Chains A and B, each alone.
Chain A
Amino acid sequence: AQKVTQAQTEISVVEKEDVTLDCVYETRDTTYYLFWYKQPPSGELVFLIRRNSFDEQNEISGRYSWNFQKSTSSFNFTITASQVVDSAVYFCALRGNAGKSTFGDGTTLTVKP
């Protein structure tokens, strides 16, 4: 069985603050993929990042960065200098060998002006 835990249900920050969304996962698979998705109020899932289990390099994309720590089974997501448009629900997900994706419960981020 696989499990994804996003301990933070809601986070509220003021614009320009940095914010980190936590994600911890469990799986017995040796090969797996980790994802982050953004879900704005319109509902569609916006793909942000994908990491496979063999690639522990951290990644930075503009104001977004991801920290993959296999030793602690964590895949945290940091938004630097947050903006109001970053307000959304963010999901961490894991896709294992069977191809199924398991999603965390999501973190609702509110960025206030």
Chain B
Amino acid sequence: GAVVSQHPSRVICKSGTSVKIECRSLDFQATTMFWYRQFPKQSLMLMATSNEGSKATYEQGVEKDKFLINHASLTLSTLTVTSAHPEDSSFYICSASSGELAGFTGELFFGEGSRLTVL
């Protein structure tokens, strides 16, 4: 099946620094990628939707200047947490969709997740 890879899987950083998380579709072209955030023992909350070559669409309450999303190619989307603070500590998961694949299956393919800890 389609594979989505996320990197890094774990990152620890100091407060005030910026952290970049990569999401790659390994064997298909991802026209759309979604970024989710998951707090401990909670559900996945959609943060933003990014389409290749255009600006990301952020969900209500998500600071676009805080969480920068770049979907520069059909196989890569990045999430940058700028000036991270301890409250940004969370599990971030990306998912990717191919228009062609979605037409057949409607399926989203998820990365392994990235656990961010801000000290």
Which residues of A pack against B, CB within 8 Å? 33, 35, 37, 43-45, 47, 50, 52, 91, 95, 99-106, 108
Question: Cβ of A103 and Cβ of B105 under 8 Å apart?
Answer: no
The winner among A37, A50, A91, A99 for most chain B CB atoms within 10 A is A99
Which residues of B pack against A, CB within 8 Å? 32, 34, 41-44, 46, 49, 91, 93, 95, 97, 102, 105-108, 110-113, 115
Question: B105 contacts which of A50, A91, A99, A100 (Cβ < 8 Å)?
Answer: A50
Query: Can you list 22 A-B contacts with CB-CB less than 8 angstroms, sorted by A residue number?
Result: A43-B113, A43-B115, A44-B110, A44-B111, A47-B110, A50-B105, A50-B107, A52-B106, A95-B108, A99-B32, A99-B49, A99-B97, A99-B102, A100-B34, A100-B46, A100-B49, A101-B46, A102-B46, A103-B43, A103-B44, A105-B42, A108-B41
Q: How far is the CA of A101 from the CA of B105 in the complex (A)?
A: 14
Given A43-B115, A100-B34 in contact, is the A105-B106 Cβ separation under 8 Å? no
- The interface residues of chain A, by DSSP majority, are classed as strand
Given A43-B113, A44-B113, A100-B49 in contact, is the A95-B42 Cβ separation under 8 Å? no
Question: Cβ of B106 and Cβ of A33 under 8 Å apart?
Answer: yes
Question: Cβ of A47 and Cβ of B107 under 8 Å apart?
Answer: yes
Q: How far is the CA of A42 from the CA of B45 in the complex (A)?
A: 18
Question: Cβ of B106 and Cβ of A44 under 8 Å apart?
Answer: no
Question: B112 contacts which of A43, A95, A103, A108 (Cβ < 8 Å)?
Answer: A43
Question: Cβ of A33 and Cβ of B46 under 8 Å apart?
Answer: no
Q: How far is the CA of A63 from the CA of B97 in the complex (A)?
A: 29
CB-CB under 8 A from A35, the residues of chain B are 107-108
